[in-house]
Every structure is written in structure tokens, then in C-alpha cells.
């Protein structure tokens, strides 16, 4: 590695640490301790980052009176929020959401627009492009300071090629090069991932869930999918595709699935909620969700299928925590409780450690932050 590359790598490592320390800030001494770099090297890195406008000294450290051994006050630094920006977007069958984030990860503005019933893959690109251009224009942000755009797409995504491998509910979403199409329209780098994965990443980083360092998340929307996050990354298959939990078979010779197979988790759950399969409806969140007896019936019908998928994911990944995300927290808690009851009723000798279960309502802002983090992760790595 060339000396210039080493210097850039070290500067990015330090800048990432300073950003992560927001809002407390980070001192040079703390950065030396965290990285093992020598103090003179760290002084040069901080000086360079400050001169280039990436960081500035904060008014005071959290321990305001703390002094160094030489008697000088300890100076903490933070990243400047306006030095760079990134975009985060997420879409599914029903709508497109886009947000602009500053360099500290704060959401500055966002917008949400519906998608029409007859939408196809190319029309999704047009919708994302027009909505993004409108948001950038309204924000009056210098376009040259935008690092890029992260997009969470439905279905199975090939992260390496930046394409939607397969999503049955939007025409043309099979092997569709979404990232390249958007890059050509926007003139910005685009990072693509599955929308379930960006939500799982954001929940693991910002959701303050014990055990989130090894988290498996189920997302129930018009369909169902899952993602496993470990060591800050969403796991992929060997070919670069996201894992497709919604199409794990949980009932041999079960219901016909939109993917062409039978008995997939998504097909079985949809069958449990047949009265609520209209466009844009979240699973188990239709009119019947307000009826206590009907809600209990749906939970009881869905629990064995979700429990079967949970067991499979536990065997494959051994997560420390499972998270269910649905339209409402009440719904997510009900499904989580029903799954745990099923698991407890049929214990396995392979259940070697206690696993935490959590439930959350879908959070649009958190999903957008997860998408924007795709850009930041690429920038720092």
C-alpha cells in the first residue's frame, strides 16, 4: 500500500471515530488510545481534517474541567454537519420515501409519495429521480457536497451488481439494474440493498436493543422478509444476493406463492390474512386487527409458520436477538408473543442459549437513515 493510501486510510479511520462520538466529541488522546497511532501522527491527522473543514473544536468536552497531564484543557472535536451530505431512499409496492442527511447523520428533510397501481421498474426509477431532484432543489444544498444515495428496495437484491434480482409485485423487477439506472439519471453514486436489511442495520445501530450486535429481524409489510445483521453488516448469500426469508418453505405442499413455489412463509402468512390483501395493506393490519377475537385467531394461525422460520434462522445464524417489525407495535408484540409461545411449547435440544425477542413499529425515518448509511459505509470503507 502506498504511503498516500495509508494516510488516507488513517484519516478516514479517525474521521469515522470522531463522527461516531457525536455529540460528545473526541479528543486526540482518545483517538490515539482507540487506534494505536502515535500522538504526532494523530496531531497531523486532526490538523489536516480541521484545515479541510471536516471537523472543528467543540466548546467543551463532556468532562469540562478535565485537564491533560501537562495542564492544558482537553479539546474535543466533532464533525461539521455541513461538510458533506447523503441521501437515503426506500420504496415498496405502495410508496417512495426519500430523506437528506447531514454528515452527523441528522435527517434534514424528507418526502413521501405514493406509487400508482400500474407501476413498473422503469417508472420506479422515474419516480425516485423526480422526487430526489425536488428534495435536493428545495434543500438548496450544494450538489457537489452530496456523497451519493442509498436505496432500500423490496424483494431480493444483488448488492454486488446493484440490481433487484426478483420482486414479483412490480413488473420488470427481475435482474433489474436499479443502481445503474439511478446513477445515470442523478449523476450521483448509488448503493443498493434490500429494504429489510437497511431497517435491520439501522435498528442494530440506533435502536438501543441489547443483543443487537447479532440481530435477526422479520419485516412484515405487504409481504414478509428477514435480515441477519452481525458485526455491523447485513449477511449476504455467496452470490451477493440478500437472503430471502419470506420464501423459505414452512409448509410442504402449502399455499401457492407469488414466487412460483408452494408453502413459502409469505404465502402461508398471506393465507392467514386473506381479507386484508388489498393494495398497500400491511399484513394483519386491516379492519380485523381492531377485533380482539379475530386478532387472536390470526396470531394463532400465523404463529406456527413464523416459529418455523424463526427456528430455521436460529439454526443458521444463532442470533442473540430476534426483532419483529410490523405496522404497529401492538401487532408486532402480539406476533412476537405468539411465536415465543409456540417455541416454548416445542423446545429443541439445539436451543443452547437464551435469545431476546423485541417488537417495533415500522419507523420511516429510521429506514431512511439505514439507507443513507449505505453511502457512509462506502465512504469510510
In this predicted structure, the answer to whether residue 214 has a pLDDT above a threshold of 70 is yes
Non-local (6+) Cβ contacts of 185 within 8 A are 125, 126, 129
Residue 107: helix, strand or coil by DSSP? Answer: strand
In the chain, the percentage of residues whose pLDDT exceeds 70 is 92
Q: What is the pTM of this model?
A: 0.91
Q: Return the bridge partners of 215, or none.
A: 229, 321
In this predicted structure, the answer to whether residue 62 has a pLDDT above a threshold of 50 is no
The predicted pLDDT at position 276 comes to 62
Please state the separation of Cα 349 from the chain's center in Å.
33
What span, in angstroms and rounded, lies between the C-alpha atoms of 251 and 227? 21
What span, in angstroms and rounded, lies between the C-alpha atoms of 223 and 245? 11
The predicted pLDDT at position 279 comes to 46
**Which pLDDT tens digit goes with each residue over 332-380?**
999 999 999 999 998 887 776 678 999 999 999 999 999 999 999 999 9
Grid cell 458533506 — which residue? 84
Per the structure block, which three cell numbers stand in for 18? Answer: 470522531
Cα→Cα distances 232→13, 99, 151, 214, 368, Å? 15, 22, 18, 9, 17
Per the structure block, which three cell numbers stand in for 171? Answer: 413488473
Written as one string, the DSSP assignment of 190-222 is: EEEEEHHHHHHHHHHHHS--TTTTEEEEEEESS
User: Among the ranges 71-85, 186-200, 206-220, which has the highest mean pLDDT value?
Assistant: 186-200
The predicted pLDDT at position 2 comes to 73
**What is the sign of the dihedral through the CA atoms of 326, 332, 336 and 339?**
negative
What span, in angstroms and rounded, lies between the C-alpha atoms of 195 and 354? 28
What span, in angstroms and rounded, lies between the C-alpha atoms of 110 and 365? 8
The predicted pLDDT at position 275 comes to 67
228 φ/ψ angles, rounded to the nearest 5 degrees:
-110, 125
Residue range 54-73: mean pLDDT, rounded: 66
What span, in angstroms and rounded, lies between the C-alpha atoms of 367 and 370? 5
- Which domains does the chain show, CATH number per domain? 3-79 (1.10.10.10), 85-198+366-380 (3.30.420.40), 209-362 (3.30.420.40)
**Which pLDDT tens digit goes with each residue over 77-120?**
999 999 999 999 999 888 999 999 999 999 999 999 998 877 89
Residue 166: helix, strand or coil by DSSP? Answer: strand
Q: Which of 201, 159, 133, 156 is nearest to 366 (CA)?
A: 201
Q: Return the bridge partners of 220, or none.
A: 224
pLDDT interval class at 242 (50, 70, 90): very high
What span, in angstroms and rounded, lies between the C-alpha atoms of 372 and 206? 13
Amino acid at each position: 500500500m502506498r504511503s498516500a493510501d495509508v494516510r488516507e486510510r488513517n484519516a478516514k479511520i479517525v474521521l469515522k471515530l470522531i463522527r461516531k462520538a457525536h455529540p460528545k466529541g473526541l479528543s486526540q488522546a482518545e483517538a490515539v488510545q482507540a487506534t494505536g497511532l502515535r500522538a504526532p501522527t494523530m496531531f497531523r491527522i486532526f490538523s489536516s481534517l480541521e484545515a479541510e473543514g471536516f471537523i472543528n473544536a467543540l466548546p467543551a468536552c463532556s468532562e469540562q474541567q478535565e485537564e491533560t497531564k501537562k495542564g492544558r484543557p482537553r479539546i474535543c472535536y466533532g464533525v461539521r454537519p455541513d461538510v458533506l451530505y447523503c441521501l437515503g431512499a426506500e420504496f415498496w409496492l405502495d410508496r417512495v420515501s426519500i430523506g437528506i442527511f447531514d454528515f452527523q447523520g441528522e435527517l434534514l428533510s424528507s418526502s413521501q409519495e405514493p406509487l400508482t397501481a400500474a407501476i413498473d421498474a422503469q417508472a420506479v426509477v422515474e419516480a425516485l429521480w423526480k422526487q430526489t431532484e425536488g428534495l435536493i432543489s428545495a434543500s438548496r444544498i450544494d450538489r457537489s457536497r452530496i456523497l451519493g444515495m442509498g436505496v432500500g428496495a423490496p424483494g431480493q437484491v444483488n448488492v454486488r451488481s446493484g440490481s433487484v434480482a426478483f420482486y414479483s409485485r412490480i413488473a420488470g423487477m427481475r435482474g433489474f439494474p436499479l443502481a445503474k439506472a439511478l446513477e445515470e439519471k442523478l449523476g450521483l453514486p448509488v448503493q443498493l440493498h434490500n429494504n429489510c436489511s437497511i431497517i435491520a442495520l439501522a435498528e442494530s445501530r440506533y435502536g438501543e436493543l441489547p443483543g443487537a450486535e447479532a440481530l435477526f429481524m422479520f419485516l412484515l409489510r405487504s409481504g414478509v422478509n428477514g435480515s441477519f445483521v452481525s458485526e455491523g453488516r447485513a449477511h449476504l448469500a455467496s452470490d451477493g444476493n440478500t437472503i430471502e426469508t419470506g420464501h423459505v418453505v414452512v409448509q410442504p405442499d402449502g399455499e401457492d406463492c407469488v414466487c412460483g413455489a408452494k408453502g413459502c412463509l409469505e404465502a402461508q402468512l398471506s393465507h392467514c390474512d386473506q381479507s386484508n390483501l388489498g393494495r398497500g395493506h400491511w399484513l394483519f393490519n386491516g379492519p380485523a386487527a381492531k377485533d380482539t377475537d379475530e386478532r387472536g385467531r390470526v396470531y394463532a394461525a400465523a404463529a406456527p409458520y413464523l416459529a418455523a422460520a424463526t427456528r430455521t434462522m436460529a439454526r443458521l445464524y444463532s442470533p442473540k436477538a430476534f426483532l419483529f417489525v410490523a405496522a404497529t407495535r401492538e401487532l408486532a408484540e402480539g406476533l412476537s408473543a405468539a411465536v415465543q409461545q409456540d417455541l416454548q411449547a416445542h423446545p429443541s435440544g439445539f436451543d443452547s442459549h437464551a435469545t431476546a425477542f423485541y417488537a417495533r413499529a415500522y419507523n420511516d425515518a429510521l429506514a431512511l437513515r439505514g439507507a443513507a448509511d449505505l453511502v457512509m459505509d462506502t465512504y469510510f470503507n
